[in-house]
């Protein structure tokens, strides 16, 4: 099984080519490692932090950047069971983050402080999925 931690170059180019001046939502599915793996030299290396603790550190440290750029978390849920789909794709965290534009998301990932703090995420994550969504007003039926 291939782990997905960061976007690949092709997906990033497609992301950047989509409309930039409208709100976007990002569906996040995250599986954390039992034990975070910080590189030597990082202040948290060897401290025995769990993946969840490291991911929470990522969330706490990047929250001010996320908020400054107009981001907000609009939904979060605790995954329980994969009812339809591969059973080996279990997730520890699921949430949707909303940004005022894709430029805001790009500004976040390029922010020098974010680039420092994202080391917590890298240490924490065993596998993840990140899906860009265009917000829609829900209809009356499922999927409308």
Question: CA 34 to CA 115: how far, in whole Å?
Answer: 23
Q: Tens digit of pLDDT per residue, the chain (144 long)?
A: 677 888 888 999 999 999 999 999 999 999 999 999 999 999 999 999 999 999 999 999 999 999 999 999 999 999 999 999 988 889 999 999 999 999 999 999 999 999 999 999 999 999 999 999 999 988 888 777
Contact of 98 with 71, CB cutoff 8 Å: yes
- CATH architecture type of domain 21-133: 2-Layer Sandwich (3.30)
Residues 58, 29, 69, 132, CA torsion sign: positive
Q: pTM for the complete prediction?
A: 0.92
Q: Tokens for 97, please give them.
A: 């983050």
């Amino acid at each position: 099984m291939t782990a997905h931690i960061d976007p690949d170059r092709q997906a990033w180019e497609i992301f950047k080519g989509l409309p930039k001046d409208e709100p976007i939502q990002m569906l996040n599915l995250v599986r954390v490692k039992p034990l975070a793996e910080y590189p030597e030299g990082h202040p948290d290396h060897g401290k025995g932090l769990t993946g969840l603790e490291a991911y929470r550190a990522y969330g706490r440290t990047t929250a001010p950047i996320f908020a400054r750029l107009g981001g907000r978390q609009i939904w979060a849920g605790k995954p329980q069971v994969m009812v339809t789909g591969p059973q080996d794709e279990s997730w520890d965290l699921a949430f949707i983050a909303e940004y005022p534009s894709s430029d805001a998301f790009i500004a976040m990932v390029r922010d020098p402080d974010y680039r420092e703090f994202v080391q917590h995420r890298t240490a924490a994550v065993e596998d993840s999925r990140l899906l860009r969504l265009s917000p829609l007003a829900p209809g009356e039926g499922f999927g409308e």
